[in-house]
Amino acid sequence: MDYFQAILIAIIEGLTEFLPVSSTAHMIFTSSLMGIEKDGFVKMFQVSIQFGAILAVVFAYRNTFFNRQNISLYFKLALAVIPALVSGYLFDDVIESVLEKPVPIAIVLIVGGVILLFVDRLFKAGNTDQIQALSYQQGVAVGFWQCIALMPGVSRAAASIIGGMQQKMTRSLAAEFSFFLAVPTMLAVTAYSVLLKDWQSVNGSVKGYQMIMQDQTHILLFLIGNVVAFIVALLAIKTFVAALKQYGFKPFAWYRILLGILLLFVL
C-alpha cells in the first residue's frame, strides 16, 4: 500500500464511518479494486484509522462531551458498548473470515438498503429529542442493536440509528447518540487491533504496534491515515445530520442498493 492508496482509504473511512452505508464494505471494495495486497498491516490500518474518526466526533461535540451536566452520558455509553465488545471478542475470527468474501458483503449492502427504505414507516417520529432525556434502558437497547453491525456490510451507524429510532428517539438524536456510541466502541476496537491482536506479517505473528514501528513508511502511513480520517469525518458528521433531518434515509438506502448491485456485477 502506497501513500496515495492510504490517503484514499482514509478519505473513504472518514466519509462513510458515520453514514449508514458501511465504511468496512467501502474500504474492502476499494482495496480490492486498487489491487492492494491484503496483508496484516493493511487490515490493521483499515481498523486503526478509525481513531481519527473518533477524534472528529469528540471535537465536533466537545461541548457535550466535556460538559459536567452530561456526566451521566459517560455511564450510559459505558453500559451501551458492552454488548458489542463481548460479541466482537467472541466472534472476531468469524468476522475476519467474512471480510475475505466481498460477495456476501455486497448482498448485505443491498438487503440493508431495502430495510432503510422502510425505516421511517416502521418507526414513527420519536419523542426523545435531548441527550439528557435519554434513559439507561434506551442506551443499552441501542447497544444491542449495534451488535447487528458485526456482520460486515450492515453498517454500525445504520444499526445504532435504527435502534435509536426504535427506542423512540428522533432521527437527529438517534444519529447523534450513534456518533457518541462510536467513540467507546471504535476506541476499544482500535486499541485491541493495535495493542493486543496478533496479525500475520512477513515476520510471523506480530502485534499491530509492532507492524507500525517496523519502518518509517508504516509510521507515516498510520499518521497520515488518521489525520485524513479526522478531517474528512469532521466534515461528514455535520453534513450527514443535516441531510438526515431533511431527506431521511432514502438517499442512503438507494445508494446502498445501487452500489451493492454494481459490485455484484463487478465481482
Spatial separation of the C-alpha atoms in residues 181 and 159, rounded to whole Å: 12
Q: What is the pLDDT of residue 79?
A: 94
Residue-wise pLDDT tens digits, 107-133: 889 999 999 888 878 877 678 878 888
Domain ranges of the chain: 3-266
Q: What is the pLDDT of residue 67?
A: 84
Query: Who wins on pLDDT, 184 or 37?
Result: 184
Does residue 98 have a pLDDT over 70?
no
Q: CA end-to-end span of the chain, whole Å?
A: 21
Confidence of residue 217 (pLDDT cuts 50, 70, 90): very high
Give residue 81's identity as a one-letter amino acid code. V
**Do residues 204 and 40 touch, judged by C-beta distance below 8 A?**
no
Confidence of residue 261 (pLDDT cuts 50, 70, 90): very high
Q: How far is CA 69 from the centre of its chain?
A: 27
Q: Find all residues with CB under 8 Å of 165, minimum gap 6, and list them.
A: 119, 123, 126, 171, 174
Sign (positive or negative) of CA dihedral 52, 47, 166, 105: positive
Residue-wise pLDDT tens digits, 8-32: 999 999 999 888 888 888 888 888 8
- Among 17-21, 33-37, 48-52, 104-108, the range scoring the smallest mean pLDDT is 33-37
Residue-wise pLDDT tens digits, 77-93: 999 999 988 988 887 77
Q: Which three cell numbers stand for residue 152?
A: 460486515
Q: What is the mean pLDDT of the chain?
A: 87
Give the whole-number percent of the chain exceeding pLDDT 90. 33
Q: Which three cell numbers stand for residue 247?
A: 431527506
- Backbone φ, ψ for residue 213 (5° rounding): -85, 5
Spatial separation of the C-alpha atoms in residues 196 and 190, rounded to whole Å: 10
pTM to 2 decimals?
0.86
Q: What is the pLDDT of residue 151?
A: 82
